[in-house]
Amino acid sequence: MAIMLGDNQYGKAETRVVRTVRDTDRHEIVDMNVSVALAGDLSDTHLTGANDKVLPTDTQKNTVFALARDGIDSAEDFGLRLAQHFTGGQRSIDRATVTVQEYTWTRHGDHTFSRSDGGEHREVTVVNDNGASDVTVGLRDLLLLNSTDSEFTGYIVDEYTTLAPATDRILATAVTADWHFSETDVDWTKAFETGRTALIEAFRDTYSLSLQQTLYAMGAKVLEDLPEVDRVTMSLPNRHHFLVDLEPFELDNPGLVFHAADRPYGLIEGTVTRK
Q: Is 190 an annotated catalytic residue?
A: no
CB 123 within 8 A of CB 138: yes
Q: How many residues does the chain have?
A: 275
Beta-bridge mates of residue 35:
99
Amino acid making up residue 265: Y
Q: Is 57 an annotated catalytic residue?
A: yes
Catalytic residue (one of 12, 61, 180, 221) = 12
Distance CA(181)–CA(227), nearest Å, equals 9
Catalytic residue (one of 45, 57, 59, 176) = 57
Is the bond leading into 248 cis (omega within 30 degrees of zero)? no
Q: Is 221 an annotated catalytic residue?
A: no
Q: What is the dihedral of CA 269, 175, 206, 227, to 10 degrees?
A: -80
Say how many C-beta atoms besides its own lie within 10 A of residue 272's C-beta: 19
- Dihedral-angle region of residue 122 (phi above 0 means left; psi in -120 to 50 means alpha; beta otherwise): beta
Catalytic residue (one of 85, 180, 221, 240) = 240
Please identify every residue annotated as catalytic: 12, 57, 240
